[in-house]
Amino acid sequence: MEDESRIVELELRYMQQQELLQELSEVLYAQQREMDALKAEVEQLKKKLQDEPGLVDARQHEKPPHY
């Protein structure tokens, strides 16, 4: 009987690990999708800044009034 209870305990642990592995996989997949979206947004912003250099701060290239 002791061997049987040990086997049952091992099977339960295995099932818990499988569930945890599935949860972690889903979290990792969601994070990867979010990272991909953020990378695309950064690339889009980079392109926009390259196309319109004065967009960030047009005053940065102006001389102060006391010059």
Q: What's this model's pTM, rounded to 2 decimal places?
A: 0.64
- Domain membership of residue 62 (yes or no) is no
CA-to-CA distance for 14 and 30, rounded, in angstroms? Answer: 24
- Domain membership of residue 10 (yes or no) is yes
Domain tally for the chain?
A: 1
- Domain membership of residue 27 (yes or no) is yes
- Domain membership of residue 61 (yes or no) is no
- Asked if 27 and 21 touch (Cβ cutoff 8 Å), the reply is no
Domain that includes residue 18, residue range:
2-52
pLDDT tens for each residue of 5-62: 999 999 999 999 999 999 999 999 999 999 999 999 999 999 999 888 777 665 555 6
CA-to-CA distance for 59 and 5, rounded, in angstroms? Answer: 76
